[in-house]
Amino acid sequence: MNALTSCAVLLSALVTSASPDAGFQQSPDGGELADLPFTAYSIKKIVAAHHQDIQNCYEETLAGKAKVVEGRLNVAFTIQPDGTVKDAKVVKKGTTLQDAKLHECVVSVLSGLTFPKPPDHRDHPVEYPLNLKAVH
């Protein structure tokens, strides 16, 4: 097993005492994540539920590098009234991982997410930091 298979993505905005996979597919009451109310907590939970997809992007990028690269991606996206994502992008300011393939992959993951529908039926812009770090 090489170091890449043991890499993990650390989502800096997620604060939880649960294990990385605990409760991410369902809300505490057993419902689907999309059934959660539209809150900062539900946004964090849904991004965290897709941490493996983001980790896969990171590992694919690392696979071609001679040394392990760690850093930060600041991402932004808009949650639309129906809960889907538009305008996902990596924000240059504060982003330390400058790899186009990584950026494209993470944007693709974010663009496919579905969040709870905002109760005010308006677009909601979100900025989200991702700290990507190899854990051995």
Number of structural domains found in the chain: 1
Give 8-55 pLDDT, tens digit per residue: 333 333 332 233 333 333 433 344 665 788 999 999 999 999 988 998
Do 39 and 62 form a contact (C-beta atoms < 8 A)?
no
Do 77 and 110 form a contact (C-beta atoms < 8 A)?
yes
Give 43-99 pLDDT, tens digit per residue: 999 999 998 899 889 888 877 777 778 889 999 999 999 999 999 999 999 999 989
Element (H, E) at 103: helix 100-111
- Asked which of 1-5, 61-65, 113-117 is least confident by mean pLDDT, the reply is 1-5
C-alpha distances in Å from residue 125, one per residue of 23, 27, 43, 118, 119:
25, 23, 11, 11, 15
Give residue 74's pLDDT: 95
Domain extent for 15? 3-133
Tallying the residues shown for the chain, one arrives at 136
Give residue 41's pLDDT: 92
